[in-house]
Amino acid sequence: MRVKFSKMHGLGNDFVMLDGISQRIRLSPDKIRRIADRYLGIGCDQVLLVESPRDPDADFRYRIFNADGSEVENCGNGARCFARFVRDRRLTGKKRLKVETSGGLLQLKLMDGDQVSVDMGAPVLEPEQIPFNADRCAESYLLEVHGETFTIGAVSMGNPHAVLLVENVQEAPVTQLGPLIEVHPRFPQKVNVGFLQINSRSQAQLRVFERGVGETRACGTGACAAMVYAHQRGLLDDQVGIQLPGGNLTIHWSGPGQPVTMTGPATTVFHGHIIL
Ligand SMILES: N[C@@H](CCC[C@H](N)C(=O)O)C(=O)O
């Protein structure tokens, strides 16, 4: 099967975008791993498949697969790339879109230049909905990892995130501790792990070890989850610039029950065909 794709990225978090509306595409975990392989395939952190919506309120549905083949609920950088992809492929002429994901409905706005703004919905903090094993909902939790105890925040942005505050993000043990927390038994569906350094009330730096991928250059839902955790602890204002290894996102959140808004770029790199 010969399939058209676009290679895109949001701050270096890279995607293979597939139009499943004008092409018939059958994916399997094995095919996804092959597409994502940086030596044997195209190479990407996530494969994103655009489909017709099931929800009559939505313009599109988009499905998200991590490089390890697992299907997941949400992807912030992917959402911005999705919005540009459907416009560039002329699947819609709209600048404001509603898209269904398995983590909920997102509202997107194409702005000037390469910028896209996404209403990511309200964060979920109830442990059983994240899902995270804890007796009660709290601002932070103690997590034991191989005999050491860490203070973490647990937030769902449709997908699960653990957030740790660190003094120096460059020196944070992202690739050592990240994989241990990713598969911690208290997160029954595994978890994305963010390491957050607060620079001021409006500036922070973040590195994320993503579930099913490893450390990425940027994670949109990770930036939203980090904002929620630090804002709840009174460390950040409502509007914050979050610097990731691949560049900056602007995140806005005004508190519990309110949606998180993420604004940042979406970039197309090339188009091609792949034999699946
Ligand atoms: N890169 C993404 C998140 C992709 C999904 C994540 N790895 C998961 O397993 O939940 C983003 O920009 O949000």
**Reported pTM:** 0.97
pLDDT at 205: 98
Confidence of residue 172 (pLDDT cuts 50, 70, 90): very high
Is residue 75 part of the annotated active site? The answer reads yes
Per-residue confidence (pLDDT) for residue 2, from 0 to 100: 94
Mutate to test the pocket of ligand 1, among 72, 221, 228 (most ligand atoms within 8 A of CB): 221
Q: Is the complex ipTM more than 0.95? A: yes
Average pLDDT over the chain, rounded to an integer: 97
Structure-token match 């293979």, residue found: 16
Span 129-158, average pLDDT: 98
Asked whether the predicted pLDDT for residue 234 surpasses 90, the reply is yes
- The catalytic position among 44, 75, 81, 224 is 75
> For the stretch 222-251, what's the b/e string if a residue is b when 16 or more beta carbons lie within 10 angstroms of its beta carbon?
bbbbbbbbbbbeebbeeebebbbbbbbbbb
- Beta carbon of 225 within 6 Å of any ligand 1 atom: no
Interval between CA 272 and ligand 1 midpoint (Å): 24
| Residue 114 pLDDT exceeds 90 | yes
Residue 27 in this model has a pLDDT that exceeds 90: yes
**Model pLDDT, residue 165:** 98
Cα(151) to centroid(ligand 1), Å: 22
Residues in CB range of 234: below 8 A, 6 or more apart: none
pLDDT of residue 233: 98
Cα of 223 vs centre of ligand 1, distance in Å, is 10
As a whole number of angstroms, the distance between CA 215 and CA 13 comes to 10
Q: Give yes or no for residue 273 having a pLDDT over 90.
A: yes
- pLDDT recorded at residue 103: 87
DSSP letter, residue 171: G
**pLDDT band at 169, cuts 50/70/90?**
very high
